[in-house]
Amino acid sequence: MKTEVVIVGAGPSGLATAACLSVLSIPYVVLEREACSASLWKLRTYDRLQLHLAKRFCELPHMAFPRNAPTFLPKNQFIQYSDAYVERFGINPVYSTHVELASYDEASKTWRVMATNALTDQVEEYRSRFLVVASGENSEGFIPDLPGLQSFSGEILHSSSYKSGRPYSSKSVLVVGSGNSGMEIAYDLAEHEARTSIVINSPFHTVTKEMIYMAMVMLRYLPVSVVDALVVLLANLKYGDLSKYGIVRPSLGPIRLKAVTGRSSVIDVGTVEKIKTGEIEVVKGVTNIRGNEVEFADGKSHHYDAIVFATGFRTNPRQWLQDADSFLGEEGYPREKFPNHWKGRNDLYFVGFARSGLAGCSTDAQNVADDIARKRTAAYFSQR
């Protein structure tokens, strides 16, 4: 099949790109490996999830959230918005289609995308001038190979498979990873009366969603250093010194840290209070696992019925993008740095790889669609 643009991925990044192209009347095809759009949100998120940023910072291009929507949307309402977005812009992804190889043909100056249709088991070929990688930052759940993990006789799951703490009531559960997912899952487990521990190894900022909302607004008027100082001051006033509970703040402020490293602050949903009261135990450094017994760096060990790995995700373009090393760094992100990360050679684009959430996806999608439109216009006039 020939088209102008092939978009790989029907998550928010792919949908935003498709909508921007639709507005410009540029033909495209969206290939999606799952059987639905926004599959991360629909299939691989826990029940209590809600947007950590205010809705004004999470809208996709050309369509606002309903006025009566809450400031911080729960998962189900974002899914409803996503489905309405697909319908409004007439986006029809080719579902259950797994991209096997995308290669650039120098002779014809086109991209050749080979994909397997999981429903028919047939290999299908797509040809396009432009290729948009929109498979996202969260393609593959990552579980580190901890010493002795294979001997663990309890349940092992990644956070993308966790739904609710209800099945773990009265069980001992270890959460590995202390980002937003890990801290919120630990809270959810404790709320369902699981005996909960969480591994915290690295420094991070603990803030409320209101603090981040305030910071996002203030960044329009004040320098990052001032906003960071205000957020840290407010966090200290609310939480006090958390180092005695095993939570240490980084030296960089929360906004600067995100810009430099891509690491987000932890939006506290009540986890800190449960740590302070002892409902959630903080542990450090898993050194070994023997059966159901997990050993830690301080010499202590605990018995667990389950381990939840909230250890993040990996990108997947390296699995199917030919000559990936020339486009991607070791971690699977574009070699080009922000703000030029979205544009590669040979009419290749990346959407949703800026580590800046839904707002970044939207900005990338608009940049890509505008650039494609400019190139098509230039090509049209050069042929006249």
- Using alpha carbons, select from 8, 35, 14 the residue that is nearest to residue 89: 14
pLDDT at 268: 97
Distance separating the N- and C-terminal Cα atoms of the chain: 27
d(CA 236, CA 255): 16
pLDDT number for residue 155: 97
Nearest to 59 by CA among 104, 12, 92, 98: 12
pTM of the full predicted structure?
Answer: 0.92
Is it true that the peptide bond before 334 is cis, omega within 30 degrees of 0? no
Report pLDDT for 326: 85
The set of residues, in sequence order, having a beta carbon less than 8 Å from that of 299 and lying 6+ positions away, is none
Strand 172-176 versus strand 110-117 pairing type: unpaired
Output the six-digit token pair for 188: 């959810």
Q: What is the pLDDT along the chain (384 residues), one digit of tens a residue?
A: 999 999 999 999 999 999 999 999 999 999 999 999 999 999 999 999 999 889 999 999 999 999 999 999 999 999 999 999 999 999 999 999 999 999 999 999 999 999 999 999 999 999 999 999 999 888 889 999 999 999 999 999 999 999 999 999 999 999 999 999 999 999 999 999 999 999 999 999 999 999 999 999 999 999 999 999 999 999 999 999 999 999 999 999 999 999 888 889 999 999 999 999 999 999 989 999 999 999 999 889 999 999 999 999 999 999 999 988 888 887 888 988 888 899 999 999 999 998 888 999 999 999 999 999 999 998 777 776
> What is the β-pairing status of strands 301-303 and 293-296?
antiparallel
Q: How many CB atoms lie within 10 A of CB 370?
A: 12
Backbone phi, then psi, for 274, in 5-degree steps? -70, -30
For residue 178, the model assigns a pLDDT of 95
pLDDT of 260 reads 87
| pLDDT digits 0-9 by tens, 13-65 | 999 999 999 999 999 999 999 999 999 999 999 999 999 889 999 999 999 99
Q: Which of 40, 8, 278 is nearest to 159 (CA)?
A: 40
Contact 207, 184 (CB under 8 A): no
Q: What local confidence, expressed as pLDDT, does residue 384 receive?
A: 64
271: amino acid identity, one letter:
T
Cβ atoms of residues 203 and 250 within 8 Å: yes
Collapsing DSSP states into helix, strand and coil, what is residue 280?
strand
CA dihedral 318, 323, 329, 335 (to 10 degrees): -120
DSSP reduced 3-state for 124: strand
